[in-house]
Amino acid sequence: MSMFLEIGRIEDIPRQAARLVKTDMGCIAIFRTFDDKIFALDDKCPHKGGPISNGIQHGDMVTCPLHNWVFDLNTGQAQGADSGVIRTYPVEVREGVILIARSSLDQAVAAE
């Protein structure tokens, strides 16, 4: 079995949008930035649990739709005066296919 799981193609996600990968442990938000970088983070703001996949993206940042906390997609770290961190997952894009590491998914399961 490959170490990576295909979860979709890059063009399945519009630029500056995000879509979800649903798991039994919750949703992972897959973000595509304006310059076609792909990031994967838990779809859950550490503040009040807002679905960050629904936020507005700007640069490598996303703003949570509930109370405007801003997170760096690279690190999951809250910006400015807010503090909190969202778990990130390693993802890769090969020939337009988005891949997520199986191990990190297993960890997501194991961690619970």
Residues that bind another protein (CB under 8 A): 7-8, 12-17, 19-25, 27, 30, 34, 48-51, 54-59, 61, 63, 65-66, 68, 70, 81, 105, 109
Partner residues linked to 57 by β-bridges: 62
State how far the Cα of 5 lies from the Cα of 91, in Å rounded to an integer. 10
Cα–Cα separations (whole angstroms), residue 100 to 29, 51, 78, 81: 12, 20, 23, 31
Residue whose CB is less far from another protein, 55 or 76: 55
Question: Cβ 58 to another protein, closest distance in Å?
Answer: 5
Question: Cβ 43 to another protein, closest distance in Å?
Answer: 9
Partner residues linked to 56 by β-bridges: 63
State how far the Cα of 49 lies from the Cα of 46, in Å rounded to an integer. 6
Residue whose CB is less far from another protein, 6 or 84: 6
Residue whose CB is less far from another protein, 13 or 78: 13
